[in-house]
Amino acid sequence: MSDDQGTQVGPVMMYSSRDKDVAAFYVDVLGLGGGGPGEAIWLDAANAKVVVHEPGDRETPAEVRGQAGFVVWFGVGDVRAAHEKAKRAGCVVGDFRGDFFFAKDPDGRYVGVYALEDHHGHGHDH
């Protein structure tokens, strides 16, 4: 999905019932910065954000937050067009949230797709 702004890789998300322990691993062992209270723990690497969510995150479809791996986010210039393309391809997961959605690639990996032009009001950067 190429566009004038170019697609960017956004935050890498994971879901864990041990979110605080998992975040501590990435801070203590790998040296990521950030953290703090909130529904999600946002950590900073030199070139990306890593987000640790509780498995009950209300904005993520259950099938996405139930996976053990990571969810990589992709920022696109026209999220509505990307959503329509994903919908036609039959790979949309959950609802379109106005400025972001989830999709599933042909191998079954979940990804997040968000609008580069406006951050989706969660109080964090992409």
0.75 cut: is pTM over it? no
Residue 109 resides in a domain: no
- Total domains in the chain come to 1
| pLDDT at residue 4, rounded to an integer | 53
Residue 55 resides in a domain: yes
Residue 72 resides in a domain: yes
Residue 110 resides in a domain: no
More reliable by pLDDT, 45 or 124: 45
| pLDDT at residue 82, rounded to an integer | 93
CATH number at residue 13: 3.10.180.10
* Position 120 pLDDT exceeds 80: no
Nearest-5° Cα angle at 76, 22 to 106 = 70
Residue 87 resides in a domain: yes
Domain that holds residue 53: 8-95
Mean of the per-residue pLDDT values for the chain?
Answer: 84
Which of 101, 119, 124 is closest to 53 using CA atoms? 124
Question: Picking from 38-52, 79-93, 109-123, which range would have the lowest pLDDT averaged per residue?
Answer: 109-123
